[in-house]
Amino acid sequence: MISSTSPPSTLADEAANLVHQLAHHDDNTYGLGTMTCAVYDTAWVAMVAKEIDGKLAWLFPESFEYLLQRQNEEGSWESYGAEVDGVMNSLAALLALKRHQKQPELSLAALPHDIETRIERAKESIARQLQAWDVESTMHVGFEYLVPALLTMLEADGIHFQFPGKDRLITINHKKMSRFQPAMLYGEQKITALHSLEAFIGLIDFDRVRHHKTFGSMMASPSSTAAYLMSASQWDLESEAYLRHVVKFGHGKSSGGVPSAFPSSYFETTWVVSTLLEAGFSANNLGRVNLDFIAEKLQQNLDKAHGLIGFAPSVGHDADDTSKALLTLQLLGKDASPQSLIAEYEGSHHFRTYASERDPSLSANCNVLVALLHHSHPEQYLNQIEKCTRFICDEWYRFDGSISDKWNLAQEYPIMLIVQGLIQLLSLYDNSQLTELPSDLLRDRIPVVLFQALVRCLKSQGTDGSWGHSVEVTSYAVLTLANLASLPWLDAIADNVHQAIRLGRQYIQKHRDDSEAEYLWIEKVTYGSKSLYKAYTLAALHVTAPTHRFGDKVKALASIPWKNVFKFAKFYSMLPIYSSTPEWLLRASLIEGYLFLPRLKQMRHALFPRDNMAEDKYFEYIPFTWTGANNRDGAFMNANFLFDMMVVSFLGYQVDEYMETVVGGKTFEHRLPEVQAVIDEIFAKLDACPSINETTGFARLEACEKGTSTIENTATDTVNGDSNIPTTCKSRSDSLLDEESPKLAIDTEATHLQNQTHTPPISPITTKTTADDQLTSITRVLSDFTHFIYHHPSVATASPQNRHRVKNELKIYLLAHLTQVHDNARFATQPIPSDKTTTFETPTSSYYQWVRTTSADHTSCPHAFAFATCLLSSTQGSGTGEECFKTAQEKYVAEDLCRHLASMCRQYNDYGSLQRDRDDKNLNSVNFPEFVGGHDRVLKDELFAIAEYEREGLGMAMGRLRDLVGRRKKEGRGVMRGVELFVDVTDVYGQIYVLRDIDGPVGA
């Protein structure tokens, strides 16, 4: 156990002082706020002019001076934490400079002599920033109408900007504005647009929004209030007083600078108090009198607004702040009902932050979950708890790379909230509460999410003990690890977790006084909060690790074979690809793989019977090949991608076994032309199947016999009893296991996955009657496998080219197996001694042609790569029907890469399985006439050298593809992460083959 790193009294005193400040610096009229200043809002305040004694003058010359002082030498204004910060700060400041230049008579002092030079430098800097701006990935509040509004205003002054993302920005803007009607602002309801009225200058009648004022402000926004003062027909003294108060008492302290929001009383108070209490500070530590004062104020405002609250008094309410207020009261032992929260914000599959929210917020749903879990009777809200939990897990499962949220730039923030919520849920479950939660969440989803969060957190820690050289982000990470240290599946890496916490705390302790706040939080521009910075650093230094002690119920959710973890970690460290990988990461990746394994095992017999097959010892290897490669270089592809590719991986082995053992068996090998005819017929009718169930990933194949061709949209089919859960958040492969989803009926004694309620998806060819039961069985198995792959939703919604490639590669794959069976049969007619290599006397091609065609296709690599590109296009593109590789060059190089990879992998396979192939009388690379020398060592060295030649070609193709696809910025990077992961995994298999033959013998 790790306790706090400072004397408890010291930390407690600091925490109590922070709470005291929140309780006593809350102005009765304007509230409190410690958010950092924003150039953007300051620029708007600098443009407010007022008529005094019949003469118009700038009302806040100190704000204009603030802008001048903060302009950088090259013309820009600060970009706090995101590209859009610099864009918006610089555009607004440039507009202010132009306004002041055009109206010099409004200034009490002379304009700076270099005003024209400043404007020109600003224009040049903005042009550069706009060229680099990635519009698609921008998360900030209202940028889609704020930036276009600024650009339009500047165009009126003769300043025009062209940039690559402008068309996309206009498209997003038109979509947003198409839903906007001025009347929406004239009613009684407070909507979020009131926070950004500056975007609607010239579009609305500002006199008709006067009634929305709160303590003189427009939704606590200095820029929105400034726009109102500038545009209303009558001067508003109350709004002027508000701005004067913000300039004087906000974070700028009379410097002229103002924040993006003021006040932020409830936001800062609830975040601070709940964070400190959750970290283990007691009410006595924090001061009961001050806490009682805060609790009473929160309760009064909740009662006044019928159980809902916003970030400040009378600014409208939202689910995020309401949840934090409820949590704060619950942690203080007060009754706090979530009924209003549920009634107002519960959606079909998640909680909305606002009534008209565009994109759901992960962090808001985490805060809702935690508030519900801390209720005195959480079982009363089981449905809502399940809904939040499923949404959180689904969001995690679909995120690639860094997980993001709309309210904080650091991925460590939403990860912290996810972990806190799910650990608290497990704590209640461990205490025999919430036992009716679905098994798939408790046993499959939650353990994977938590363990992946652990790996990502540990791997992203810097050598100095920090995360991103940030004190506040490091505090998030320490709080995350303190909670994750509670997991009962950490035996092999527990020391690493505690060491990471110690190093993180040392960094916080050393650097926490270096600044008052860090720019992490998202508003119109990024901001920091002095209060939140202090609260999170104190919490991280004080929290005890582990935060919970779990009993047998949670321990039983996952079974980790620790002996195998240590054994396999040692084995994998011998592979070249993992030779420099830290041992803890190998162990962690193995544990993560074992957490995936139970769900994979449920699918083990879904398509292929296991009769007369050897033990499938490859099965235990498969999860790690994906988790290990995913974690090694921090690709962090989404868990849906990992699971689907794990399924395709073990299906590849099963196809190989089935074709070799059943189709290629002695009783059937003479009937290969009939099997080829079956395959031809399967693929001839493959596109005729019209109806795709996106929930299960299977086609409703019974409709094919009717010859219809209408695709039904079942994206909101009921899943596990919860309607309208987007299927894009689910792995399409694992939906085979959903309790209320159709299942494939596989006629084996080992498993019965068919759901009796639904008609199982049986292919049209399967329904044919024939006297030949064995051919019927082969037909059914191959048809069901083909339909499973081809009608996977990511394939079904892929571009026609990507979809056609999957079909072609799938057919080539199966036919290559028939060719291999035929070659093996011809090879087996030769005398094959067990102690030396036999030369294949009747090859139909050169070795080069064989290894690049039949042999490479037989590996499953090409068809799996085609399948993976469909997964990548569905997760990395902007919609369905996207091309993964968009140009002829990209497509050509990608296919060349795949061919090098498949050939190399097959050569590694043959290198490692020479003796097994001899025993099974299977054709191996070294049996071709090109290989001479007789001795195994000589032949294998020759084969290995050729494989390394293929590796060189693979490296060249990878470099070229990286250059081509990388031009697409974020999307391109995501595609390449997936491609690189696929290559690494395939390479892992090849390297394993070199060390150990993991295929089982035939007909055991």
The CA distances from residue 500 to 414, 497, 860, in Å, are 19, 5, 41
- Looking at the 3D structure of the chain, how many domains does it have? 2
Same domain, yes or no: 243 and 274 = no
Task: Tell me whether residue 319 is in a domain.
Answer: yes
Same domain, yes or no: 347 and 204 = no
Query: With left for phi above 0 and alpha for psi between -120 and 50, is residue 87 left, alpha or beta?
Result: alpha
Task: Tell me whether residue 755 is in a domain.
Answer: no
Is residue 995 helix, strand or coil?
helix
Query: With left for phi above 0 and alpha for psi between -120 and 50, is residue 257 left, alpha or beta?
Result: beta
End-to-end CA distance of the chain: 50
Q: What phi and psi, each to the nearest 5 degrees, are found at residue 308?
A: -125, 160
Give me the helix-helix angle, 530-542 and 8-24, nearest 10°.
150
Same domain, yes or no: 245 and 273 = no
Among the candidates 558, 587, 605, a domain finishes at 558
Same domain, yes or no: 222 and 272 = no
Average pLDDT in the chain = 88
For residue 199, the enclosing domain spans 39-249
Beta strands in 263-367 (DSSP E): none
Q: Are 433 and 379 in contact (CB under 8 A)?
A: yes
Q: Are 313 and 214 in contact (CB under 8 A)?
A: yes
Same domain, yes or no: 61 and 190 = yes
pLDDT of residue 807: 96
Same domain, yes or no: 278 and 209 = no
Q: How far apart are CA 369 and CA 387, in angstroms?
A: 9
- For 826, counting Cβ atoms within 10 Å of its Cβ (0-12 exposed, 13-18 middle, 19+ buried), the class is middle
Task: Tell me whether residue 670 is in a domain.
Answer: no
Among the candidates 495, 529, 558, a domain finishes at 558
In the chain, the amino acid numbered 699 is A
Q: How far apart are CA 692 and CA 689, in angstroms?
A: 8
Sign of CA dihedral 660, 662, 664, 665: positive
Same domain, yes or no: 535 and 499 = yes
In the chain, the amino acid numbered 843 is P
Compute CA 288 distance to the chain's CA centroid, rounded to the nearest angstrom.
Answer: 40
Same domain, yes or no: 375 and 503 = yes
Among the candidates 511, 532, 558, a domain finishes at 558
Q: Are 346 and 387 in contact (CB under 8 A)?
A: yes
The CA distances from residue 459 to 293, 418, 590, 628, 935, in Å, are 42, 18, 15, 12, 46
pLDDT of residue 879: 53
Same domain, yes or no: 355 and 406 = yes
Cβ neighbours of 70 (radius 10 Å): 18
Q: Are 808 and 863 in contact (CB under 8 A)?
A: no
Is residue 504 helix, strand or coil?
helix
pLDDT of residue 245: 97
pLDDT of residue 604: 83
Q: How far apart are CA 115 and CA 101, in angstroms?
A: 7
Q: How far apart are CA 250 and CA 244, in angstroms?
A: 10
Same domain, yes or no: 359 and 448 = yes
pLDDT of residue 715: 33
Cβ neighbours of 935 (radius 10 Å): 10
Residue numbers in the chain where pLDDT is lower than 50:
690-771, 1000-1004
Task: Tell me whether residue 187 is in a domain.
Answer: yes
Same domain, yes or no: 277 and 241 = no
CA angle 387, 627, 999 (to 5 degrees): 125
**CATH at 330:** 1.50.10.20
Token digits for 73? 């030498």
**CATH at 223:** 1.50.10.160
Task: Tell me whether residue 321 is in a domain.
Answer: yes
Task: Tell me whether residue 245 is in a domain.
Answer: yes
Q: How far apart are CA 244 and CA 292, in angstroms?
A: 31
Task: Tell me whether residue 475 is in a domain.
Answer: yes
Overall pTM surpassing 0.75 (yes/no): yes
Same domain, yes or no: 290 and 327 = yes
In the chain, the amino acid numbered 690 is P
Task: Tell me whether residue 327 is in a domain.
Answer: yes
